[in-house]
Amino acid sequence: MAQQKGTRMTSDVYQRLQSVIDESTYGGTIGIAARHFQTGEEIELNPDMIFPTASTFKTVLLYELYRQVDQGKIDPTDRIIIEDRHRVPGSGVIQDLDAGASLTIRDVAMLMMVISDNAGTDIVFDLLGKEAIQQAVQDLGMSSTSIPMGTWGLLCGLQNLDPEDPELTYEKVKELLKGKDAPWDANAFKETPDNDITTPRDMIRLHVAIENGEGLSTSARDAVLDIMKRQKLSERIPAHLPTGVVCAHKTGSLRGVRNDAGIVYAPDGTSYALSIFVKGAPDGVAGTRLVADVSKVIYEHYVGPIA
């Protein structure tokens, strides 16, 4: 297990977390932050360590999108006409649609969140603007978070390509990424503000703000959570949780990176924000399992044993 700096495992929940981390073969570093909404109890392990966001930054975009809806700047029923320039490789389906297809802004945001659509993400990113996104980060008090680029920039960073290079077409980047592991020193893994980075604690701050409707009207808050609860990627935070639990969350993956952050709603009314971030893990499958195992420990501590 990588050294967990500045953390002392003393209480039962920390001992259980230490046990599942020690048993994992993931080979990287993990950061955890959780906050119980009813009691305020927090569980933290490396909460201020910097991690690549991978696709978890898309939740910030969703928050800012509906903040701009509240401000009257964006109508979520307006339509986006898909063009060839919108295509981005990786996860998602918009890249496969015919040019001329028409989607509402809400539908694009839905695809960005529920299947992590990269093209949809960059459409939303450009619609909001980089400055507005970073202002949202600041307004949320996410002091260690930076989101200077969308998914095109992240994907180019996996192979140290210049995202502004006019010679880099969708087809070329897709081919360059095919079957290739990103080098460990790739730009996409940099822990500096010119990359998309965050901390487990910052992501808790985001989800507490969403749950409490900070900066959002009631209708905007409900719209954000409705989209987040439709997440289709369920092998991490929700994986070991019992039937009836609802998770509003967003995963993120790059080489060695296995992240998940969101809100868990238990059937008994308990709810909590949770962020689990893994980096530098040569065994990505084990990293995914570890996130699921950690989520189970947190749930059983906050809610009770899972039968």
Tell me, yes or no, whether 30 lies in a domain.
Answer: yes
pTM above threshold 0.85? yes
Tell me, yes or no, whether 169 lies in a domain.
Answer: yes
Tell me, yes or no, whether 1 lies in a domain.
Answer: no
Tell me, yes or no, whether 294 lies in a domain.
Answer: yes
The pLDDT of residue 41 is 94
Tell me, yes or no, whether 46 lies in a domain.
Answer: yes
The pLDDT of residue 179 is 76
CATH number of the CATH domain containing 252: 3.40.710.10
The pLDDT of residue 181 is 86
How far is it, in rounded angstroms, from Cα 56 to Cα 162? 22
198's tokens: 């965050």
Tell me, yes or no, whether 254 lies in a domain.
Answer: yes
Phi-psi region of 102 (alpha: psi -120 to 50; beta: other; left: phi over 0): beta
How far is it, in rounded angstroms, from Cα 208 to Cα 290? 24
Residue 249: give the domain boundaries.
12-302
Q: pLDDT truncated to tens, each residue of the chain (307 aa)?
A: 333 433 444 489 999 999 999 999 999 999 999 999 999 999 999 999 999 999 999 999 999 999 999 999 999 999 999 999 999 999 999 999 999 999 999 999 999 999 999 999 999 999 999 999 999 999 999 999 999 999 999 999 999 999 999 999 999 999 989 877 899 999 999 999 999 999 999 999 999 999 999 999 999 999 999 999 999 999 999 999 999 999 999 999 999 999 999 999 999 999 999 999 999 999 999 999 999 999 999 999 999 999 8
Tell me, yes or no, whether 121 lies in a domain.
Answer: yes
Q: How many domains does the chain have?
A: 1
- 3-class secondary structure for the chain? CCCCCCCCCCCHHHHHHHHHHHHCCCCCEEEEEEEECCCCCEEEECCCCCEECHHHHHHHHHHHHHHHHHCCCCCCCCEEECCHHHCCCCCCCHHHCCCCCEEEHHHHHHHHHHCCCHHHHHHHHHHHCHHHHHHHHHHCCCCCCECCCCHHHHHHHHCCCCCCCCCCCHHHHHHHHCCCCCCCCCHHHCCCCCCCEECHHHHHHHHHHHHHCCCCCHHHHHHHHHHHCCCCCCCCCCCCCCCCCEEEEEEEEECCEEEEEEEEECCCCCEEEEEEEEECCCCHHHHHHHHHHHHHHHHHHHCCCCC
Tell me, yes or no, whether 284 lies in a domain.
Answer: yes
The pLDDT of residue 143 is 98
Residue 257's nearest CA partner among 16, 52, 68 is 52
